[in-house]
Amino acid sequence: MRLEDLVRLRRARDVMDREYARPLDVPTLARGAHMSPGHFSRTFRAAYGETPYGYLMTRRVERAKALLRRGDLSVTEVCFAVGCTSLGSFSSRFTELVGETPSAYRARRHDAGAAVPACVAKVLTRPVRNGVPVRNGEPVRNGEAESTAAS
């Protein structure tokens, strides 16, 4: 992969990180990266191990978890605050990544993480599909994470 492509992909990823609540789609992100939508999607997945949509939804779910922990917004309000336009799609993706519904997550106590600095909490609470870490779009199986981390 060319260095110029990696720089453009990083900029697109930074846009998703900063502007996750805006309506973002692959054609818009690809245009900003000066790539065709197909090339953008393929190179993004090759560079980051997930599709642009998957990455954006993971960022949105991360932000949603923080808002739900506060407890002052309804699930619907959180859904729209993080840039999702469909409560059903948001709830499905949230449940897939977190392993419980947004309502169940909101209702649960979150005192244990209150003393953890935000930068650490972000890493520890990063959504993963059904509680299973994902690498290159595939679930990491037992023992596989340790063996590849050591190599």
User: Which residue would you say has higher pLDDT here, 47 or 108?
Assistant: 47
Residues 6+ apart with CB under 8 A from 94: 61, 64, 101, 102, 105, 127
CA 65 to chain centre: 11
pLDDT of residue 147: 40
pTM of the model: 0.73
Give the model confidence (pLDDT) of 60-109 as tens digits: 999 999 999 888 999 999 999 999 999 999 999 999 999 999 999 999 88
Give the model confidence (pLDDT) of 98-148 as tens digits: 999 999 999 988 776 555 666 666 665 666 655 555 444 455 554 444 444
Mean pLDDT, residues 38-42 taken together: 95
pLDDT band of residue 2 (cuts 50, 70, 90) is confident
Residue 55 has pLDDT above 90, yes or no: yes
pLDDT of residue 108: 85
Element holding 138 (H helix, E strand): strand 138-139
- In angstroms, the Cα distances linking 121 to 33, 66, 116, 124 are 30, 10, 6, 5
